[in-house]
């Protein structure tokens, strides 16, 4: 079962978050987008199964109440390298090797949104979801 179908976020600049996400996760693509009178500019970025909806709003803030958005990746080192090539540096990489069955790294995009990327090192749910470490 797939649980999350999409999230919808207002940002000051769609281009900034889109550039960040497409550099981070090459499997994503622009599924659609446009401009709607009274609503504004929007895009859907994702895969066939799920997406992130972005709407451009000049009054959007970085949502301090939102801690971060987590995405699963297959290869965290490749992600770090792709983002470095695109000019991004980790916001906090202290957790990259802090768990024996998952690796993670954090970034802040050009709109101030916090993103966590996780690579699981086991297919065993009990090991992946062990929070005693």
Q: With respect to residue 133, please indicate whether it lies within any of the assigned structural domains.
A: no
Q: How confident is the model at residue 2 (pLDDT cuts 50, 70, 90)?
A: confident
Q: With respect to residue 13, please indicate whether it lies within any of the assigned structural domains.
A: yes
24-58 pLDDT, tens per residue?
Answer: 999 999 999 999 888 889 999 999 999 999 999 88
State the average pLDDT for the chain.
91
Which residue segment(s) compose the domain that 48 sits in?
A: 6-128
67-124 pLDDT, tens per residue?
Answer: 899 999 999 999 999 999 999 999 986 777 788 999 999 999 999 999 999 999 999 9
Q: With respect to residue 1, please indicate whether it lies within any of the assigned structural domains.
A: no
Q: With respect to residue 12, please indicate whether it lies within any of the assigned structural domains.
A: yes
pLDDT at residue 125, as a whole number: 92
Q: How far apart are CA 44 and CA 102, in angstroms?
A: 28
Model pTM? 0.90
Torsion of CA 11, 18, 70, 107, to 10 degrees: -90
- Is 113 within 8 Å of 69 (Cβ atoms)? yes
- For residue 34, give the CATH number of its domain: 3.10.180.10
**DSSP string computed for 104-122:** EEEEE-TTS-EEEEEEES-
Domains in the chain, number = 1
**DSSP string computed for 37-93:** TTTEEEEEEE-SS-EEEEEE-TT----TT---EEEE-S-HHHHHHHHHHTT---SB-
Q: Which two tokens stand for residue 63?
A: 């949502």
Under DSSP, the state recorded for 28 is -
């Amino acid at each position: 079962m797939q649980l999350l179908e999409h999230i919808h976020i207002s940002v000051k600049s769609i281009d900034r978050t889109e550039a960040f996400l497409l550099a981070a996760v090459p499997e994503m693509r622009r599924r659609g987008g446009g401009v709607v009178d009274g609503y504004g500019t929007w895009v859907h970025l994702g895969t066939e199964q799920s997406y992130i909806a972005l709407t451009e709003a000049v009054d959007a803030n970085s949502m301090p109440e939102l801690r971060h958005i987590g995405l699963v990746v297959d290869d965290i080192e490749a992600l770090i390298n792709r983002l470095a090539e695109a000019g991004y540096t980790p916001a906090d990489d202290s957790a990259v090797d802090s768990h024996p069955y998952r690796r993670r790294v954090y970034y802040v995009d050009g709109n101030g949104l916090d993103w966590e990327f996780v690579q699981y090192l086991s297919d065993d749910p009990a090991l992946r979801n062990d929070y005693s470490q």
